Amino acid sequence: MTDGPGGDLVIVSAGGFGRETAEAVRAMNAVGASWRLLGYLDDDAALSGRCLEDIPVLGGLEELKHLPNASVVVCTGRPDNYVSRPLIVKAFGLPAERYATIVHPTAAVPPSSRIGPGSVLLAYAALTAAVSIGSHVAVMPHATLTHDDVVEDFATLASGVGLGGGVRIGQCAYVGAGALIRENRAVGSCALVGMGSVVISDVPAREVWAGVPARYVRGTSIPHEQR
Query: Using one digit for the tens of pLDDT, what is the confidence trace for 16-58?
Result: 999 999 999 999 999 999 999 999 999 999 988 899 999 999 9
Domain end among 49, 81, 98 = 98
In a domain, 218, yes or no: no
Q: Is 118 exposed, middle or buried (0-12, 13-18, 19+ CB in 10 A)?
A: buried
Distance of alpha carbon 123 from alpha carbon 183, whole angstroms = 24
In a domain, 222, yes or no: no
Q: Could you report the per-residue pLDDT of 63-74, keeping only the tens digit for each?
A: 999 999 999 999
Around Cβ 59, how many Cβ atoms within 10 Å? 18
Domain that holds residue 93: 6-98
Same domain, residue pair 126 and 207: yes
Distance of alpha carbon 78 from alpha carbon 121, whole angstroms = 16
pLDDT class for 223, splitting at 50, 70, 90? low
- Can you give the pTM of this predicted structure? 0.93
pLDDT of 2: 37
